Chains A and B, each alone.
Chain A
């Protein structure tokens, strides 16, 4: 594994811990960070000892958003589009079979929100603040924000947040469904590990299958989704629905 400079990756028992680590820029999401996340998340996916992923940020905040100083450096639109799908951190995150938890503190903006939205469970420190500032700079959320936010917080709220770019608090994130729990800042790391440890007390195949059922079947018509659920339950070896 190569040496990471923008993130750290460590194993804590059964947990893979990825930490955004460009604190001098409040973990601005750079091209290099993207590539390193792809590598670390691929390692998580392929390492059967890793039973859960914790994503956290080092320093003052979780992630201040995309590193705009690098924007405009892509060689061409065609290449930018190809790379978007080849090095898809957000898709990779969503496809992990193990439970993923984001622990958010301080600023969490733009790409930071998109990273968090791609996790299964989201824990916010009481000092966390969120925002989607893209349109204010003539940009659009391009890492799943326009698709995941409406699914998490509803279409009206998603449009309001995306079109105004306003900052919102951990409490509002909790009330609209972006965050699942709020904890004091000092307790964030401990609570995140305790919660994830509790989650992975369940058998790994059941957790992975539940994730597949929710993620793969959510957009299907109900009858197809129910058939899919029954198939997945059989795969898991627990039989079909109650009769």
Chain B
């Protein structure tokens, strides 16, 4: 089952993919994302139901950090690939073994993996089905950190402390970087930066910097 649990401060939330109780389907769980949540840690990949669409995770309005504990295989690994950032527990592993069984990863695995680790490593992993441990995943750029759930929580906390508009625009621009030629990406980045000029958050951030205090962002 799928369960979305906001943290006490309401700025972050945890989305469990293998909760003992909760929603039967991922869309219903994600619809419950409360206003004000700025980043989500996603857990429970090992043992997650096979019918959860990866595109839904990729399409969440706020950054997602996957915390992978245990062995995330096949569709579970594809769900983790659909998150923005991956933290692997020290003993965790990821593997796409569908090809070995005569099938094909079909929830973004062949596309997202190649964008994250490059063509040569993607082909090696897809064709052999080899499981990647945390160290190797970090070395290839598949995992951005190795750590506990608390470490992943600290990471989303850090993301949630940033300006929500600045965070959303940065995420939009970085995602575009993988899809469009450099010149177009640079133009998008510049346009988003100028659009951000008009936001209250940017004024608050600058004021806080000059007054040497922590900013208080409202996402507008």
Contact = CB atoms under 8 A, between A and B. Distances in A.
B85 A84 contact: no
Contacts of A145: 189
Interface residues of A, number: 45
Given A156-B84, A156-B141, A163-B159, A81 B173 contact: no
Contact of B116 (A80, A142, A156): A156
A84 B39 CA distance: 31
B190 A138 contact: no
B178 A140 contact: no
Q: How many residues of B sit at the interface, in one of the four size bands?
A: 35 or more
Contacts of B192: 140, 142
B155 A142 contact: no
B141 A135 contact: no
A47 interface: no
Contact of B177 (A84, A151, A176): A151
A138 B206 contact: yes
Interface string A141-152: 110111101110
Contacts of A139: 163, 166, 193, 196, 202, 205-206
Contacts of B186: 91, 144, 147
Interface in B30-89: 39, 63, 84-86
B210 interface: yes
A135 B162 contact: yes
Interface in A106-149: 134-142, 144-147, 149
B185 interface: yes
A146 B178 contact: no
Interface in B170-220: 170-171, 173-178, 180-182, 185-186, 189-194, 196-199, 201-206, 208-210, 215, 217
A204 to B, nearest CB: 24
A218 B117 CA distance: 17
A165 interface: yes
A68 interface: yes
The B interface is mostly helix, strand or loop, or mixed, namely: helix
Contact of A146 (B39, B142, B185): B185
B194 A146 contact: no
A234 B156 CA distance: 51
A20 interface: no
A164 B171 CA distance: 12
Nearest to A158: B174
B215 A81 contact: no
Nearest to A176: B141
Given A84-B190, A146-B177, A155-B177, A138 B202 contact: yes
11 contacts: A81-B191, A84-B194, A136-B163, A137-B206, A138-B217, A139-B205, A142-B192, A144-B186, A144-B189, A150-B174, A162-B174
Q: Shortest 8 CB-CB distances between A and B: which pairs? A: A138-B205, A138-B163, A142-B193, A135-B162, A146-B173, A137-B205, A219-B181, A147-B185
Interface of B: 39, 63, 84-86, 115-117, 139, 141-145, 155, 158-159, 161-163, 165-167, 169-171, 173-178, 180-182, 185-186, 189-194, 196-199, 201-206, 208-210, 215, 217
